[in-house]
Amino acid sequence: MKIAGLDIGTTGCKLTVFDEQGQDLGKAYRDYPVRRQVSGHEIDISVVMDSVYAVIGEMVTQYPDIGGIGITSFGETFVMTDAQGTPLHTAMLYTDPRGAEECAQLVETLGADRIARISGLAPHEMYSVCKIMWLKKHQPEVYQQARHIFLIGDYVAWHLTGVAQIDYSLATRSMAFDIGKLTWSEEILDAAGIDIFLLSKPVPTGTAAGCVTKAAAEKTGLNPDCQIVTVSHDQVAAAVGAGAFDGETAVDGAGTVECLTPIYDSLPDISVMSKGFFSVVPYVIPGKYVAYAFSYTGGALIQWCVNTFAKAEQEKAKEQGVSVNTYLEQQYNKQEPTGLLVLPHFAGAATPYMDTGSKGAILGLTAGTTLSEIYRACMEGVAYEMRLNYDALAASGIHFTKLHATGGGAKSKVWMQMKADILNLPILSLKTTDAGTVGSAMLTGVAVGVFRDLAEAAAVMVRQRETYLPDPKRHEQYMRIYERYRKVYQAVRPLM
């Protein structure tokens, strides 16, 4: 029997298939368009579902014995549907500007501290409940017709199984879930004017929803006995796929977005967490929680640098048979930091500021500055921003002593060593870059009986690449520059 992890992102979805020994057998991917305008950022959920059917169908032709599929997805985005699951509107992404007034209304009614203590989230318009309120106010006919309100993961699971259930971690991204009681918050939903019965049933991470429906089996080619598993929000799945299960280990998700995910062995101090806009999310292990500290531009900043400045270098790299990233890393042949300061807010500031109006900046340029220095400085900027988040989390009770690194950035030895030096922590890079699909498959394997528990799943599916130890001398060099970096946001923001 094969197991699979379905990872649904904002711009595309992929299905990765594994055998019972945890070997990656292959994947299928489909992208879909996102519409971004000044007035709104939207996605057509029907297209997402069509893409899901497509990736499943493609892999089933190769592996007809897929016995379980776990679903992980991005958060916040919701869709209202009729009784048949047909979307009644295009869905708003978390970056959509709508919902700010409704968020302020909730804060006025309940208080920011009360909302944070219930939901684990500092109030912000990015979360589902604010945008549901906006839609109800501006398109009341849609709300009146609605029979379901789904987030992405439970929307897909419902279409595959007919069961409306959502795991705790994804439900948290709505800002309407009680992370202590592990159920929808009637207090928040009543204040928001939202019918609790429209929402899916909350269940623990990794709960099987059931077998695929006859209609879903016919569309995809899946065996009717194939189990669909409600896994989690994508960052929780990535933490599982990185093999991080206690407070000693945190995860560095070095993807398009840079995300630091520490694990708490008990509920952290919400007042400390909300000051830095750090989400507190129930973890797969009962009683444990994770937090998200992130920058909107991790790998995205590196790609911007390459696309904008490195046209000639891409050709040279191709001639040498290496990636342009490796080529640019090799061009910087010094051991010390660049001394440049890059504020990586090219898509706004995430934690600990949550300032969507913030802009990126590159400081310290001279006529002698080279492209390789700018490229390296962009890597440093992302790492400094993670150090800033690390420091902001210090009072919350974190005690991790190492990082497990996943994502495309984990392949860069230069970047991994830089992060180890700046954070002054050992970093273990993993061979699997798609930790979300691995974590999804691990939880699926447990749910359908392939693995006894997560420990057994991790033993066969979490594969280490290399460990990077911090260099004390370079740490001191970076920290001298970091002291200047900490002042950049406050210096630049009033000007932009």
What is the pLDDT, as a whole number, of residue 39?
63
Beta bridge partners of 383: none
pLDDT digits (tens, 9 = 90+) for 147-187: 999 999 999 999 999 999 999 999 999 999 999 999 999 99
211 - beta bridge partners? 227
Specify which residues 346 forms β-bridges with: 348
Alpha-carbon span 436 to 430, nearest angstrom: 13
Please answer whether residues 30 and 137 qualify as being in contact, where contact means their C-beta atoms are separated by less than 8 angstroms: no
Q: Phi and psi for 153 in degrees, rounded to 5?
A: -60, -45
Q: Assess whether pLDDT exceeds 80 at residue 35.
A: no
Give the whole-angstrom CA distance, residue 404 versus residue 68: 27
Question: Residue 53: phi, psi to the nearest 5?
Answer: -60, -40
Using a pLDDT cut of 70, give the percent of the chain over it: 99
Percent with pLDDT over 90 in the chain: 88
- Residue 464 scores a pLDDT above 90: no
Q: What is the mean pLDDT of the chain?
A: 95
Six-digit token string for 406: 């996943």
Kindly compute the dihedral angle of the four CA atoms of residues 9, 14, 20, 23, in this order, to the nearest 10 degrees: -100
> Average pLDDT, stretch 303-319?
95
DSSP-derived 3-state class of residue 304: helix
Which pLDDT does position 433 carry in this prediction? 73
Instruction: With a cut of 90, say whether residue 432 has pLDDT above it.
Output: no
Confidence category of residue 484, pLDDT binned at 50, 70, 90? very high
Categorize the per-residue pLDDT at 40 as very low, low, confident or very high, splitting at 50, 70 and 90: confident
pLDDT digits (tens, 9 = 90+) for 327-383: 999 999 888 999 999 999 998 999 999 998 899 999 999 999 999 999 999 999 999
Of 4, 282, 315, give the one whose Cα is nearest residue 170: 282
The H or E element that residue 171 is part of is helix 168-172
- pTM (2 decimals)? 0.91
Residue 342 DSSP label: E
Closest CA to 335 of 486, 429, 483, 476: 476
CA 136 to chain CA centroid, Å, is: 27
Contact of 383 with 418, CB cutoff 8 Å: yes
What tokens were used for 142? 């849609």
451 band by pLDDT with thresholds 50, 70 and 90: very high
- 425-441 as b/e, with b when 16 or more CB fall inside 10 Å? bebbbbebbbbbbbbbb
Position 70 scores a pLDDT of 98
d(CA 337, CA 377): 8
Site of tokens 């206690």: 246
Residue ranges of alpha helices (H) inside 321-453 are: 324-331, 371-392, 413-423, 435-447
**Cα gap 368→390, rounded to integer Å:** 33
Query: Hey, how many other C-beta atoms are within 10 angstroms of the C-beta on 486?
Result: 12
